[in-house]
Amino acid sequence: MKKVQLFVVVLFLSFAACSSSPAPRNPNETPIWVMTPSMDGNRGAVGVAGRTYDQSISTQRKLAIKRALDELSLQTKVKVQLHMTKEEVVTNSRASMTTHDQSTYSTNSSITAHIQASWMDRGSHELYVWMVLDK
């Protein structure tokens, strides 16, 4: 019984490792979508973010997504205003940091997109996010 359970777990992990998005053969090899985000008849954009002030992958990912959305909005003539402010206070060797993000979109139409793939450049630690417009 345990062998069957182990086989099912290994089989599940094998399927979970498969991906439908184009991935490089070598982890250090740049994916083709970085330079050609619009392909196969789909309009796309790539957002890039380096390491952020808080060294958080989550913050880096959010910034890359915002940059890709900004690029898509430029392609579709949607006006975007993005304001990011950072406030840092140091008191008695204790630091606190607050970040405020505000985006304003103004248009008669809206865009919807999804994340097709993402890739981390292991040399520069830049995160690339490929977003494609929904049809």
pLDDT number for residue 106: 56
pLDDT tens per residue across span 70-82: 888 888 776 656 6
Comparing 4 with 100, the larger pLDDT belongs to 100
Q: Give ∠ CA 88-94-98 in degrees, rounded to 5.
A: 30
For residue 50, which phi and psi values (nearest 5 degrees)?
-80, -175
Q: Give the pTM.
A: 0.59
Q: What average pLDDT does the segment 27-31 reach? A: 80
pLDDT tens per residue across span 80-115: 566 666 666 666 666 666 666 666 655 556 778 899
Q: Give the separation between CA 104 and CA 125, rounded to whole angstroms.
A: 29
For the chain, which domains are there?
30-89+96-133 (3.30.1660)
Q: Give the separation between CA 90 and CA 76, rounded to whole angstroms.
A: 43
pLDDT number for residue 98: 66
Buried b (16+ CB within 10 A) or exposed e, 77-115: ebebeeeeeeeeeeeeeeeeeeeeeeeeeeeeeebebee
